[in-house]
């Protein structure tokens, strides 16, 4: 009975279960995802803290086409320098959504920055 169970477990390891991947790799994938999520959450918190502290300055920078507060937000979010002009145009187009001094407006700005980050 042990031999059959051992063979079955080893055979399952060779199966590709589509989007689930190889079952023998799940522990390693879980550790990798945990590290990735921790890194993302730390970066997102830095961006959110910056937006919460400097919302007015960031919105002013968006309105005039750039500035130090927006550059810092781009850097914290990991927006690549080659993409910043396009992201700025998008932020300018949607600036009314970020203007209210509310938690929801700040969250929308954080989301817009993080979506365009690395």
Taking the mean position of all CA atoms in its chain, how far away is CA 6?
A: 41
Query: Looking at residue 69, what is its pLDDT?
Result: 97
pLDDT tens for each residue of 56-94:
999 999 999 999 999 999 999 999 999 999 999 999 999
Cα 44 to Cα 12: distance, rounded to the nearest angstrom = 38
Cα 54 to Cα 71: distance, rounded to the nearest angstrom = 12
pTM: 0.75
- Structural domain spans, the chain: 39-118
pLDDT tens for each residue of 8-44:
666 666 665 567 777 778 888 888 888 888 999 999 9
């Amino acid at each position: 009975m042990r031999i059959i169970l051992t063979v079955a477990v080893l055979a399952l390891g060779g199966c590709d279960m589509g989007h689930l991947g190889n079952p023998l790799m799940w522990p390693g994938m879980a550790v990798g995802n945990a590290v990735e999520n921790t890194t993302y959450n730390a970066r997102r918190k830095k961006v959110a803290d910056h937006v919460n502290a400097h919302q007015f300055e960031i919105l002013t920078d968006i309105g005039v086409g750039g500035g130090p507060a927006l550059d810092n937000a781009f850097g914290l979010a990991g927006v690549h320098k080659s993409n910043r002009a396009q992201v700025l145009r998008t932020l300018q187009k949607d600036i009314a959504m970020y203007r209210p001094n509310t938690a929801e407006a700040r969250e929308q700005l954080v989301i817009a920055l993080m979506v365009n980050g690395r």
